[in-house]
Amino acid sequence: MRSPILREERPLRKLVFAGPVCLLAMLFAVAPSAEAQSLGSCQLQGTANFSPGLTNNAQNFSYNFAGGLSGCQSSTSAAPTSGSVEAGRTITTPYNWSYTDSTTLAAAASAGSPTISTAGSEGSVPTQTSGTVVTIDPGTSIAETRTVSAVSGTGPYTETLSSALSFSHAAGAAVTGAHSGSATATYQEPIPTGNGSCGSSTTSGTAIANWADGTTTVVGYATSGAAAAVELTGSVVASVDDTLASYTGPTKAPPAPTHTVNTTRNAGQSAFGQLFFQPPDPTACAGAGVTTAAISGAISLGSPQ
């Protein structure tokens, strides 16, 4: 099935690119082969960042990239005409968390009391959205549940309840607390890596295109460059897993260790194109190294013939 995103056109000839570090010029482009047919293109403009900076001496390096996609054309109506593409970046996403802990009554609590004294605090923790729900004497005939509205003290803790107790409870009675809330998690996309210099290099990585209609395309690619010429081969993959880097919620309820990005558009296709690498100071290859560069040009997706 043909891509709904990209304009029909003849297969593109393999390009020879000008510029000292042409591997970047093909970050999200794949040289077309006899097995693939170009179905269209989008314009790309973005920025790549290298660590360490690329010099005239070969070395291992990593990089990330982010750019915008515009002017996308398609023979399919209502296809997105814009989007973004990135590789090696971090993303932040919300998540809900919950956990239950327990403590004991530090002193007897009488029926009618609006507070209890506990050995451990059942107060709210960072990013908790409401008061902790405590149950005193859980699993017994006098179990009762309340919401903690305030906590004071440094141990024992005085916990103010949403309503007075209906029963009396002995010192040492169990108290469970249910905590819940919303927080954010930051995930690291797979970081593209390479080896080489400004004159010759090889790289590999995974790029993610997020289209304006909410669909996503994940592309795995590899590049090989010598002097001013670079070839990249790649294809749309089913998904990619991002790795948890940090989160704002409690350590007792961490988010999922990975965040999966699934391809929802252009499955089974290949990617190719012609892009141009524009370092702000090309002479940096002979000095501190090229650490950032602008990328612009056209990208295409194609289906096997």
The CATH number of the domain holding residue 123 is: 2.40.30
d(CA 188, CA 185): 10
**156 and 276 together in one domain:** no
33 has pLDDT over 90: no
Among 185, 204, 219, residue at a domain's last position: 185
Please tell me the distance from the alpha carbon of residue 243 to that of residue 253, in angstroms, as a whole number: 17
Q: How many CB atoms lie within 10 A of CB 110?
A: 12
Phi and psi angles of residue 283, each rounded to the nearest 5 degrees, phi first: -70, -10
pLDDT exceeds 70 at position 144: yes
- Rounded to an integer, the average pLDDT of 279-289 is 89
- The answer to whether residue 238 sits within a structural domain is yes
Confidence of residue 43 (pLDDT cuts 50, 70, 90): confident
For residue 32, the model assigns a pLDDT of: 42
| pLDDT at res. 97 | 97
The pLDDT assigned to 305 comes to 54
CA–CA distance, 287 with 305 (Å, rounded to integer):
46
- The answer to whether residues 298 and 252 belong to one domain is yes
Do 112 and 31 share a domain, yes or no? no
Per-residue pLDDT band for 10 (boundaries 50, 70, 90) equals very low
Residue 10 forms part of a structural domain = no
Residue at 122 is within a domain: yes
**123, 150, 185 - which closes a domain:** 185
CA nearest to 148, candidates 96, 189, 101, 183: 101
- For residue 30, is pLDDT > 60? no
Q: Provide the pLDDT confidence category of residue 39 given band limits of 50, 70 and 90.
A: low
Same domain, 121 and 232: no
Domain with 240, as residue range(s), is 22-89+189-304
Closest CA to 38 of 67, 70, 69, 2: 2
Instruction: Tell whether 127 and 236 lie within a shared domain.
Output: no
- The verdict on whether omega for the bond into residue 156 sits within 30 degrees of 0, i.e. cis, is yes
Residue 284 maps to a domain: yes
**Percent of the chain with pLDDT strictly greater than 90:** 61
Number of domains in the chain: 2
Three-class DSSP category at 233: strand
Residues 55 and 101 in one domain: no
175 and 60 fall within a common domain = no
Residue 98 has pLDDT above 60, yes or no: yes
What's the sign of the alpha-carbon dihedral 185, 190, 192, 194?
positive
Structure tokens at 250: 């409690």
Residues 35 and 175 in one domain: no
Does residue 140 belong to any structural domain of this protein? yes
Identify whether residues 280 and 134 lie together within a single domain: no
Q: Of 138, 156, 185, which marks where a domain is finished?
A: 185
Asked whether residue 150 falls in the same domain as residue 296, the answer is no
197 with 271, same domain?
A: yes
pLDDT digits (tens, 9 = 90+) for 58-95: 999 999 999 999 999 876 677 899 999 999 999 999 99
| Preceding amide of 52 cis, omega within 30 | yes
Tell whether the model's pLDDT for residue 11 goes beyond 80: no
Same domain for 199 and 287, yes or no, is yes
* pLDDT of 304: 56
On whether the CB atoms of residues 188 and 90 are closer than 8 A, the answer is yes
Phi-psi region of 40 (alpha: psi -120 to 50; beta: other; left: phi over 0): left
In-domain check, residue 11: no
Burial 113-139 (b: 16+ CB within 10 A, else e): eebbbbeebbbbbebbeebbbbbbbee
Q: Considering the entire predicted model, what is its pTM?
A: 0.82
Q: For the ranges 6-10, 104-108, 210-214, which has the lowest average pLDDT?
A: 6-10
Report yes or no on 245 lying in a domain: yes
**Token pair 């100071």: residue:** 281
Q: Is residue 148 situated within a structural domain?
A: yes
Give the mean pLDDT of the chain.
Answer: 84
Q: How many residues does the chain have?
A: 305
